[in-house]
Structure 1
Amino acid sequence: GVRVLLVHGDASGDEARFLDRALDLAPDDEGALSRRSVDPDTFAAMDLADAEVVVLVDAPTPSRRVAERLAAHVEAGGGLWIAPGDHFDAREVEARLGELLPARPQPAISSEVEGPVPAPGHDLFPAGASGLEGTQTRRRVGFEDVDPDAEVVLRFADDSPALLLGRHGDGRVALSATTLGDEWTTLPYRPGFLPLVARMARRLAPRTSTPDAPIAPGTAIRLRPPAGVVRLRVSGPAGELRDLRGDDLGESVALEDTVAAGVYRVQVATTDRPLHEEARLAFLVAAPAEESDLTPGDVPEGTDARGAQTSSTTAVRPLAPWLFLLVGLLAIAEAALRLRASHLARASA
């Protein structure tokens, strides 16, 4: 599943409780989520190789060294979600992480406003009720210089962005205008909060290179290892196919030995985690459906020894002679029976 690392500015606060609970209760039907929650000091000393999505939840501005690691994480395909709070310093965040952000955050202001609710037409929420209706926000961060390519996921009632989603390198960065706890907003109390958190975590996760639909036997495919992977092993229906380490990995791995039909499993290892299943890189090889069609078809015309096409013929035999023969036999049988009956009658007389 998607590995989410939560960095809480106040690990004992309600914000941590709301997010932890939302991720723990997220259903697996759209993909499993696993989370780990740490404080800023622990995060500063961590290797991000095993984190696919990092969420800075009202966390202090990261140091330059940590900011560089976050930039590398996103450029390699990882996800980053930044949510403000009382520890959030807009100017410092802009100075350290500005190149990653989809907009330039402004200092927080106190302003009563309805929302956030889904932006019209965004695909994060299906059509209909989102479960965020009735949300009220007391305090928020404004945005300037919004990237024209950024997606507006949520909006306030005054049409200002409440959640932006942008790209940087191969990864994605989300920037919230209000807290993910109840300090500034009633958002965590809305029934749509859990789906919002779960879907955003999945949307920020590294994109895989494997297709969702089965591929035909013999189709070449390129596997793109997640950030931080130091070993990758591919196993096909008949056993192990590839086992790559270190420099042999690169940004993608070409795999051409896909002749056998069946499931191809992928395991990866990072610096702090041994080989484990990476379900998002698994793929299925299956023969085209038309090759398994058992519907009877037309019998093809044959060819002679020289390869010339021959036409088929059907012998038609008339039934009339057989019918006449049958009638004649019946007449003879009837005459024989009448003669026998006549002899028996005379004998008895």
Structure 2
Amino acid sequence: MSFLGSLFLWALPLAAIPVVIHLLRRRQREVVSWGAMQFLAPEIIHQRRMKRIDELILMILRTLVILGIILAIAQPMVSSGLFGFGTVQEEVVLIIDVSLSTDLEQQNQTLFDELKIAVNEELDELNDGTQLRVLLAGERPDWLYPAALELSSDTRSRLKQDLNKLEPTMASANLGATLMLSMETEPEQDVYLRKIKLFTDGFAEGWEADSNTLWQKIRHQQERAAISTSIQVWTPSVTPGNTYQNISLEEIRSLRTHVSLDELVTFTAVVRNRGTQPIKNVSLEWKANETDIGGSSIPSIEPGETAEVDFDYAATETGIVRVECSTPVKDDLKLDNRSERILSVVERIPLLIVSSAENVEPPSGGVRLILAALGQSSIAREIDHWKSVFEPRLIRWEDLEGENLDPYACLLLTEVPAVSEAVMQNLTRFVRNGGGLWIIPGPETNLDSFNASFHRGGAGLAPLPLEGLRSDTPTEQPYDVLIPPERTHSALNIIGDLERLDIHEVRLTEYIRQAAPDNFPSNRIWLETASGSPLVVENFLGRGRVVVQSIPFDLDWSNLPICRLYVAMIQEWLLYLAQPSAAQLNLEPGETFRFSTNSQIETNLLEVKTPLSQTKRPAVLHQEGENRVFFADTSWPGSYQLELKSEEADPQLLTPFYVSRNREESTLTPLSEALQQQLIEQGGLQFGEQQPEDISRYEQAEPPPTPFWTYLLLIALFCFAAEMLLTLFIARRRYSGSLTTE
């Protein structure tokens, strides 16, 4: 027994007060005899004996009351098994690796099949009454059941059925985070032994063995855990030096995922040989919404080599298109033989162009040149095979303040004048919600007013301030030129194609200089002049994108509008700016899925089907006449589906979305003995069978102490009540009537 407030034990001598009072009351008194006393003597002797018994009982009760209060204040703790408090139990946490590499097949059986056999054998060995938890190890650990199960014949049968339904996923197992979660979870009451058993495939990926801090933290957590904890690791028998045949379809890339009808999109399949043997004649099969659309092939690919294969496709219908690439090659790890990319195909993308009144009615100057690049000229309309996805609408700057910007994917602002604060707030909200904004100041733009409204000291929409015209600084050069950009940015990939486009022939006679500090990120400067002045810069705000171009589309300023580069630049940059406004259907693990639906849809019927075949409810926000759907639980790679439930029919598919996987999970490098020893020393793990000394240390662990002061307070309260009742009874007996003689 231990005490949390042992200082109060110094008050224990106070329990002697009732004893002292009792002894003082028993001292001898002087006896005075009188004549009639001989007739009362028998009755007096009888009452005196009863009084002594009553006083003795009262003394004991009062002493127990004081002892109970003092001990309760001292907060004693007793062993859980003492006096039969609680039932001593063991908790077992089974961690099951469901990562992609567990799908590796050897000797006509996958590693995951071996893993499930081992888990079932472990269940058979556990005793009834054991508290059991099951944790799935993926990108983020996920409990198979929300609470611990008490093992019995029924729960054991249910567990085996559920475990046999499990299949490998496309995830990469984060084993360190999984072990931390299993140890940090609060145990059930009366549990003081916890055994964590990890069933994994034995490959190095997912262990993060080189992270000393992580495993030292796990060791520290294990040592300071409230209950005795052991961690045992089970791995299948893998023959050393095994050779594998494994073609991994790493990913499918495309410049855009928001495309127009009949637009030719180039997909790039990244294929890598992650096995140990060369593979010849690798064929790839392409599908769109489960329909075959063609194929491609790779003559041969050596171990460790990566090949990229392009495939062109044009969607013939609007809507969501799931483009899938797979290889029928029979290798040892089939789960990484496919990948997909989802397109949003639209017939028109709404675009709002804002300019001065003289350029709008009728369109003239730079606005007329922009419309020509968008296919809105008489010549472009005569070309039947070329269509522009953009549907432009022109308004004057005076009309922008009352304009609803929500229907538009992009805004293009030209000849920027001084604007009101209401307009700036409207533009900022538009960009934060995913809109694209292209700002092109012109000759009439007041630079100070622009900087005050759009730059705002670096906190506005424009990332850099405007500082003056090129002509303000005398130079001997009659014109400036553009430096061809690196093709690393998706918006600049085509612009930087020097073979097909003519960016090197652009001549700039005038432009507005933007003041870029030395620490300004170079990847946000899209175009730069040979003299070092940024011409086009990018900014990000919320979900949206902003591009500031400090040269108007005016032939008096440059020959850009008559270069081959011009049309491609207008189209590509507007498509890039429009991307965030569309639903993002290709995500990274953990990235939030966002989707907008009709406000008339019953939001309580929306559900998301995950790659684990689980059904989960998304979050829904009703805003501005539509329902905005958010789903953040995207830790498992693979295909998801947003559906609308129906009681009378099958669920209606609103849209699919796809979460990419970790490519390195396809690397089949075994966890070496040296790394195992490192995990044993740093993380306190046990590989294989437990050693006798580990079993002894685990089983000899003492149960945690249980608070006992509640019971002491109840005992003190009971004794106090008994003392009060006994005192009342004695008083009533003593004074209820006169003595009777025999």
For normalisation by structure 1, the TM-score amounts to 0.61
Summarize the Cα distance change of 1:201–1:223 in structure 2 as closer, same or farther, 3 Å threshold.
same
Q: Which residue of 2 aligns with 1:148?
A: 520
Bigger drift between 144-153 and 13-22 goes to 144-153
Q: CA deviation at 1:36?
A: 1.4
Q: Which residue of 1 aligns with 2:352?
A: 5
Q: CA deviation at 1:95?
A: 0.4
* Structure 1 contact 210–282 (Cα < 8 Å) conserved: no
Residue of structure 2 aligned with 1:73, choices 424, 430, 433: 430
* Structure 2 contact 585–593 (Cα < 8 Å) conserved: no
- Give the counterpart letter for 1:172 in structure 2: R
Q: Secondary structure at the match of 2:452?
A: helix
Summarize the Cα distance change of 1:222–1:166 in structure 2 as closer, same or farther, 3 Å threshold.
closer
Residue of structure 2 aligned with 1:21, choices 346, 367, 372: 372
Q: Which residue of 2 aligns with 1:109?
A: 470
* Structure 2 contact 375–387 (Cα < 8 Å) conserved: no
Q: CA deviation at 1:191?
A: 0.7
Q: Which residue of 2 aligns with 1:187?
A: 560
Q: CA deviation at 1:16?
A: 0.8
Summarize the Cα distance change of 1:28–1:203 in structure 2 as closer, same or farther, 3 Å threshold.
farther
Summarize the Cα distance change of 1:44–1:134 in structure 2 as closer, same or farther, 3 Å threshold.
same
Write the distance in 2 (CA, Å) between the matches of 1:58 and 1:41. Answer: 13
Matched residue count: 262
Q: Which residue of 2 aligns with 1:297?
A: none
Q: CA deviation at 1:29?
A: 10
The answer to whether residue 420 in structure 2 is matched with residue 60 in structure 1 is no
Q: Which residue of 2 aligns with 1:224?
A: 594
RMSD of aligned alpha carbons: 4.3
Q: CA deviation at 1:182?
A: 2.0
* Structure 2 contact 510–558 (Cα < 8 Å) conserved: yes
- Give the counterpart letter for 1:45 in structure 2: G
Write the distance in 2 (CA, Å) between the matches of 1:86 and 1:97. Answer: 17
Deviations 1:238-290 (A, max 9, x none): xxx9997448977642399xxxx999799xxxxxxxxxxxxxx94368xxxxx
Write the distance in 2 (CA, Å) between the matches of 1:190 and 1:232. Answer: 48
Q: Secondary structure at the match of 1:204?
A: helix
* Structure 1 contact 82–176 (Cα < 8 Å) conserved: yes
Write the distance in 1 (CA, Å) between the matches of 2:622 and 2:542. Answer: 24
Q: Which residue of 2 aligns with 1:125?
A: 493
Q: Which residue of 2 aligns with 1:211?
A: 585
* Structure 2 contact 434–545 (Cα < 8 Å) conserved: yes
The answer to whether residue 474 in structure 2 is matched with residue 100 in structure 1 is no
* Structure 2 contact 598–627 (Cα < 8 Å) conserved: no
The answer to whether residue 546 in structure 2 is matched with residue 177 in structure 1 is no
Q: Which residue of 2 aligns with 1:254?
A: 631
Q: CA deviation at 1:121?
A: 4.0
Summarize the Cα distance change of 1:34–1:262 in structure 2 as closer, same or farther, 3 Å threshold.
farther
Deviations 1:92-119 (A, max 9, x none): 1110111111211112232743333542
* Structure 1 contact 54–81 (Cα < 8 Å) conserved: yes
Q: Which residue of 1 aligns with 2:187?
A: none
Residue of structure 2 aligned with 1:167, choices 540, 548, 558: 540
Write the distance in 1 (CA, Å) between the matches of 2:503 and 2:389. Answer: 23
Bigger drift between 101-110 and 184-193 goes to 101-110
Q: Secondary structure at the match of 2:509?
A: strand
* Structure 2 contact 513–550 (Cα < 8 Å) conserved: yes
Q: Secondary structure at the match of 2:448?
A: helix
Fraction of identical pairs, as percent: 17
Write the distance in 1 (CA, Å) between the matches of 2:640 and 2:434. Answer: 28
Summarize the Cα distance change of 1:176–1:221 in structure 2 as closer, same or farther, 3 Å threshold.
closer
Deviations 1:156-211 (A, max 9, x none): 22232111111122211111121123231111111111111111112222525533
Q: Secondary structure at the match of 1:66?
A: helix
Summarize the Cα distance change of 1:24–1:30 in structure 2 as closer, same or farther, 3 Å threshold.
closer
Relative to its length, the structure with more helix (as a share) is 2
Summarize the Cα distance change of 1:247–1:105 in structure 2 as closer, same or farther, 3 Å threshold.
closer
* Structure 1 contact 114–134 (Cα < 8 Å) conserved: no
Write the distance in 2 (CA, Å) between the matches of 1:86 and 1:181. Answer: 10
The answer to whether residue 500 in structure 2 is matched with residue 139 in structure 1 is no
Summarize the Cα distance change of 1:155–1:45 in structure 2 as closer, same or farther, 3 Å threshold.
same
Q: CA deviation at 1:49?
A: 1.3
Higher-Rg structure is 2
The answer to whether residue 549 in structure 2 is matched with residue 198 in structure 1 is no
5+ unaligned residues in a row in structure 2: which ranges? 1-345, 608-616, 634-638, 645-653, 659-742
Q: CA deviation at 1:17?
A: 0.8
Residue of structure 2 aligned with 1:89, choices 437, 441, 446: 446
Q: Secondary structure at the match of 1:139?
A: coil
* Structure 2 contact 514–534 (Cα < 8 Å) conserved: yes
* Structure 1 contact 24–34 (Cα < 8 Å) conserved: no
Summarize the Cα distance change of 1:43–1:120 in structure 2 as closer, same or farther, 3 Å threshold.
same
Write the distance in 2 (CA, Å) between the matches of 1:59 and 1:247. Answer: 28
Q: Secondary structure at the match of 1:4?
A: strand
Deviations 1:44-88 (A, max 9, x none): 321111122111111322211101111111122211111121221
Residue of structure 2 aligned with 1:36, choices 371, 393, 399: 393
